Amino acid sequence: MGRKRKGDAVSGWICLDKPYDLTSTSAVSRVRRAFNAQKAGHAGTLDPLATGILPIALGEATKTVPYLVDADKAYRFTIAWGVTTATYDREGETIAESDVRPTVAEVEAALPAFVGEISQIPPAYSAIKVDGERAYDLARAGQTVELAARTVTVHSARVAEAADADHVTLEIECGKGTYVRAIARDLAAMLGACGHVSDLRRTRVGRFTEESAVTLEFLEDLGYEARQSELLLPVETALDDIPELAVTAEDAFRLKQGRAIVLVPRQVEAVKARLKPGSRTVSAMAGGKVVALCEMRAGRLEPSRVFLLESGD
């Protein structure tokens, strides 16, 4: 007989507004304790020095984390001119200084080079693994870290404001794997300046936005029942880009048992019209809740992830 998990079978998402100087792992632990949840996880690490949107999954929602990790994101960040640091943020040691202060016009003229599919070398101080070790651990140990360039997608980039000659604030919309610190590094190099990210805020992850975000303090101040009823977002929130298909109670039962179901031709055509190119993933729904994530093959839905949601989830 399996050991019973500690905590409650709470399932859903919290759109957390992560505070400054807190790790993503610590934020997950505090949210998990607030809900007394059996399990929890986050979709996309946010640096301790960054603030903003950190979606946290509880219970069955953890099964949807991989789908949100791939979602587009938005950032607002400030570059401080004059100093380049080893980490390309305000935490690192100064490695170069310059009197060059790019103007807003110069920054705006340079930004188109950072939009679209671009080649980017991640910072040495990053969570990327090198021979099984995190790059930032190797860098902090004084080792030389050389990371390969990778292709990332930046959908848009704009100057939001410039408080003074020493600072410029940018806003970008980008795909997964994009490093804001690398954009700041490369932009400064293009403009013949030194610079680092002095402030960084993530403003969106997929459907998770600042409008639906809550702080840890607000969350922890609420009573348990209020947290459950007011703040917990549905498991399906992370599946915005996956087409839904309503199934019967009988088919839902089969899917939960791990068995495939056969679709009628009109269902197949309806799903095909909404699938992204190269994707077969479909969200099977019953009673307004996700039953399973399935792969559509030869007119059948084959469950790949099954959700065991209680009626109150």
The Cα-based distances of 91 to 21, 88, 121, 186, 249 in angstroms read 11, 8, 20, 18, 54
pLDDT reported for residue 230: 76
CB 55 within 8 A of CB 26: no
- With 0-12 CB in 10 A as exposed, 13-18 as middle and 19+ as buried, what is 221? exposed
Residues 286 and 248 in one domain: yes
Residues 226 and 261 in one domain: no
Domain count, the chain: 3
Domain with 287 in it: what CATH number? 2.30.130.10
Does residue 123 lie in a domain region? yes
Does residue 22 lie in a domain region? yes
Does residue 5 lie in a domain region? no
Residues 187 and 89 in one domain: yes
Domain of 163? 76-193
pLDDT lower than 70: segments of the chain: 1-4, 224-229, 310-313
Residues 82 and 20 in one domain: no
Residues 175 and 249 in one domain: no
Give percent of the chain with pLDDT exceeding 90: 69
Residues 115 and 129 in one domain: yes
Residues 161 and 123 in one domain: yes
Of 178, 48, 185, 159, which Cα lies nearest the Cα of 104? Answer: 159
Residues 82 and 189 in one domain: yes
Among the options 17, 21, 47, 186, which is catalytic?
47
Hunting for tokens 């979709």 — which residue is that?
43
Does residue 179 lie in a domain region? yes
Helical (H) or strand (E) element with 268? helix 265-272
3-class SS of residue 59: helix
Rounded to an integer, what distance in angstroms lies between the CA atom of residue 72 and that of residue 253? Answer: 33
CB 188 within 8 A of CB 96: no
pLDDT reported for residue 102: 98
Residues 111 and 61 in one domain: no
**Alpha carbon 154 to chain centroid, angstroms:** 15
Residues 211 and 63 in one domain: yes
Does residue 290 lie in a domain region? yes
Q: For residue 85, what are the β-bridge partners?
A: 94
Domain with 211 in it: what CATH number? 3.30.2350.10
pLDDT reported for residue 224: 67
Hunting for tokens 């399906």 — which residue is that?
236
pLDDT reported for residue 82: 98
Of 154, 181, 166, which Cα lies nearest the Cα of 74? Answer: 154
pLDDT reported for residue 288: 87
As separate numbers, helices (DSSP H) first and strands (DSSP E) second, the chain gives 9, 18
- Provide the token pair at 5: 């998990």
- Provide the token pair at 218: 């607000």
Residues 172 and 269 in one domain: no
Which residue type, as a one-letter code, is found at position 90?
R
Residue 164: active-site member? no
Does residue 80 lie in a domain region? yes
Residues 91 and 177 in one domain: yes
pLDDT reported for residue 3: 59
